[in-house]
Amino acid sequence: MTPQERIAQLRDEINFHLYRYHVLDSPVVSDAEYDLLYNELLALEQENPELVTPDSPTQRAGAEPLSAFTKVVHPAPILSLANAFNAEDLFAWRQRIGRYLPDPDMALDYVAEPKLDGLTVVLTYENGRFTQGATRGNGEVGEDITQNLRTITAVPQRIPVDPQSELPVPPYLVVRGEVFFPLDKFEQFNERQRQEEKQVYMNPRNAASGSLRQLDPKITAGRPLTLYCYDLVAWDGVDVPAKQWERLDYLRQLGFPVSSDSQYCDNIEAVASAYEQWKEKRNQINYEVDGVVVKINDRPLADSLGFVGKDPRGAVAMKFPAQEKTTKLLDVAVNVGRTGILAPAAVLEPVEIGGVVVRNATLHNYDEIARKDIRIGDTVIVKRAGDVIPYIVGPVADLRDGSERVVEPPTHCPVCGEPALRVPGEVAIYCDNPSCPEQLVRRVEYFVSRGAMDIDGFGTKTGVLLAEVGMVKDLADIYYLNRDDLLALEGFKDKKVDNLLNGLEASKNQSPVRFLTALGIRFVGSVVAGLLIDAFGSIDELAAADQERLEQIEGIGPGTAVSVTSWFADERHRALLEKFRAAGLKFAADKPEPAEAGSQSLAGLTFVITGTLPSLSRDDAKALIEANGGKVTGSVSKNTDYLLAGEKAGSKLSKAESLGVTVIDEAHLKGMIA
Ligand code: IVH
């Protein structure tokens, strides 16, 4: 085989595996097998640079930066949609279009699709190759973002993606879809941006649009963007199905990612009930949806109805009730956090948003208040989406009457009165007094919380009280509480004290990952703590590491490295750790039980690992499974036998549950081996 032939073969195979992984969520090779193919291709291309083409999977890492985007004229207008807000509006739409139908009362069927809140993209394929990708722009002319779209693994580089497919290669096909940020990835991504002191995005939509409109494709390549396609804009030389429902399937068969949440509806009442169901489930899915798009299934008929302005008559967007409302910003309170950050918090005139009364909202930091020019007394737009804390989108400056006041950053800690400090290059303002009583209360609250040491019987109120009466002066003091002293407190009867002391005793066995998380070191949440304990095995080894060593760990940025080393360098913290050690807390991770040589108790079983396990790191768990004959893959599919889940399991858990995959914990796994 010539290098050229092998390269072509590798590209097909790699594209197919990317598709299995990103689109079908059902990989057929392990990550290691995939890497082998990819590395072989990379090596061949390095030896034969003249054979590198822009659609090679190796180019997903991002080409050279552009100086500006060029304009692209769309082959057909990229239309928008008229809105409906309830069933009544929907029925009115059906009534209205009756006038343009051959028979106003004719039976129609529909497709109800999730209205994805992302960024519209227009993808052009010539002879099966992805040749151009553009933004919507004004609907007539968009911007050429081909280079950026190539970095998104869900965007097929060639169609049909499956080399074995019997579908003919379309000579010309233009597809419309929506690029978006999955919600779980968005939170992780923002957390990392925050840690690395880079731009934090307001919502997944802004993150998607900010990531796509980068002149440097390498930046886009680093973002976990994905895509769903839902329409054909133009085609030539192929027959495409006339029904929308079948068009979705056609797109799917070509290898485009298509939402599996779309529904076929036999009549308009079925559409109304699909909408009601969607309102319920919109907060349970891993992408942001702001409504349901209703399309007449018969596309030629729908298209024959024409437009009103830029809105086709043959489809309508049923929007969900607003998750945004306006209200008055009454005040900006200052909260003291456990790291001493003085955080602004909006005090709002209570407003009902999506069935919940909102009184407070986050304002992130003072720079953001200044940037958005939010003033006390302003009418502000408040957004509440899913389970995230409500936040202020911005002020409605037009409604000002001149009585509004500019928000001044605090000069002193509102609790202890010490001067506030601003670290150069950081947005946060701190109370730098380590014995600030409010900081201690917040640290205790965090230490005992579910995401950290998870101490039964130790609630926020107890923490606040113990700090206030002086029984807890530092974090480790909670392990030195005395039964009689506790009984002397108001409301502390035998049973309550027993529960508290038992909870504390049991928590001494918590994993070092939880312990490290609970210490509340800046930038060290449970994910980073997991990475650090994975790398060092114990808190003592971590304490001995220098900045350079920390930065070598994947996922640890310089900000985190500095924060960790300076925390451990502080003598007060060293003393605190010794106090914890003396109390009997666990500083080192358990080593996985060495598997019996040749044990095949997991032979033929496929596992996926997610979340933070109580004692095993993910690598250890993987090694343990493999040593016993099992297989570990990266994503949950119908072929997964078990999902091994720990704390903070995210989308993989919901995926497993929806597919009926058995979910087990670490103890269960160990039981299967024993
Ligand atoms: S169809 C004629 N389907 O919503 C076709 N649009 O308000 C018109 N959108 O700009 C679009 N999901 O960006 C369609 N399943 C879906 C959609 C969808 C999201 C967006 C699209 C459009 C906006 C319309």
**CA end-to-end span of the chain:** 49
Ligand 1 centroid – CA 99 distance (Å): 24
Enumerate residues 6+ apart whose C-beta is below 8 A from 241: 247, 249, 250
Residue located nearest, by CA, to atom 22 of ligand 1: 80
Instruction: Write the DSSP assignment of 563-597 as a string of letters.
Output: HHHHHHH-HHHHHHHHHHHHHT---BPPPPPPPPT
**Nearest-angstrom CA–CA distance, 98 and 91:** 11
Ligand 1 centroid – CA 113 distance (Å): 9
* Single-letter amino acid code for the residue at 5: E
CA quadruple 370, 373, 378, 381: dihedral sign? negative
119 CA: nearest ligand 1 atom: 13
**Nearest-angstrom CA–CA distance, 259 and 257:** 7
Proportion of the chain in helix, strand, coil states, percent, rounded to 5: 40, 20, 40
**Nearest-angstrom CA–CA distance, 21 and 154:** 9
* pLDDT reading at 595 higher than 70: no
Ligand 1 centroid – CA 248 distance (Å): 14
Long-range contacts of 93-100 (CB under 8 A, 24+ apart): 93/316, 94/268, 96/313, 97/305, 97/313, 97/314, 100/304, 100/305, 100/306, 100/313
Ligand 1 pocket (Cβ < 6 Å) reads 79-81, 113, 115-116, 120, 178, 230-231, 293, 312, 315, 317
In which region does residue 604 sit, left (phi positive, over 0), alpha (psi from -120 to 50) or beta (all else)?
left
Give which of 117, 120, 122 is closest to 76, Cα–Cα. 122
pLDDT of residue 385: 66
CA quadruple 76, 80, 86, 88: dihedral sign? negative
**Nearest-angstrom CA–CA distance, 673 and 50:** 52
C-alpha atoms less than 13 angstroms from C-alpha of 232 in its C-beta half-sphere: 26
Highest mean pLDDT among 15-29, 238-252, 551-565, 607-621: 238-252
Enumerate residues 6+ apart whose C-beta is below 8 A from 492: 486
**Nearest-angstrom CA–CA distance, 410 and 419:** 9
Q: Dig out the tokens for 479 from the structure.
A: 């392990």
Residue located nearest, by CA, to atom 11 of ligand 1: 80
Residue located nearest, by CA, to atom 10 of ligand 1: 80
Least confident range from 289-293, 500-504, 522-526: namely 522-526
pLDDT of residue 597: 59
Ligand 1 centroid – CA 230 distance (Å): 8
- pLDDT tens digits, 72-105: 999 999 988 998 989 999 999 999 999 999 999 9
Pocket test for ligand 1, best of 74, 79, 80 (most atoms within 8 A of CB): 80
- pLDDT tens digits, 637-674: 888 899 999 887 777 888 888 888 899 999 899 888 87
* pLDDT reading at 199 higher than 80: no
To 10 degrees, what angle do helices 268-281 and 87-98 make? 150
Beta strands 631-633 and 606-610: pairing type? parallel
Kind and range of the H or E element at 162? none
Catalytic machinery residues:
115
295 CA: nearest ligand 1 atom: 1
Give which of 497, 507, 484, 671 is closest to 585, Cα–Cα. 507
Enumerate residues 6+ apart whose C-beta is below 8 A from 106: none
**All domains in the chain, ordered by first residue:** 3-54 (1.10.287.610), 71-319 (3.30.470.30), 323-406 (2.40.50.140), 437-507 (1.10.150.20), 512-583 (1.10.150.20), 606-673 (3.40.50.10190)
Give which of 324, 48, 19, 326 is closest to 157, Cα–Cα. 19
- pLDDT tens digits, 279-295: 888 878 888 898 999 99
pLDDT band per the 50, 70, 90 thresholds, residue 519: very high
83 CA: nearest ligand 1 atom: 7
Enumerate residues 6+ apart whose C-beta is below 8 A from 58: 38, 41, 42, 45, 52
pTM confidence score = 0.57
Pocket test for ligand 1, best of 74, 85, 116 (most atoms within 8 A of CB): 116
**Helix, strand, or coil (residue 226):** strand
CA quadruple 3, 7, 9, 15: dihedral, nearest 10: 170
**Nearest-angstrom CA–CA distance, 453 and 513:** 9
Ligand 1 centroid – CA 117 distance (Å): 9
* pLDDT reading at 177 higher than 90: yes
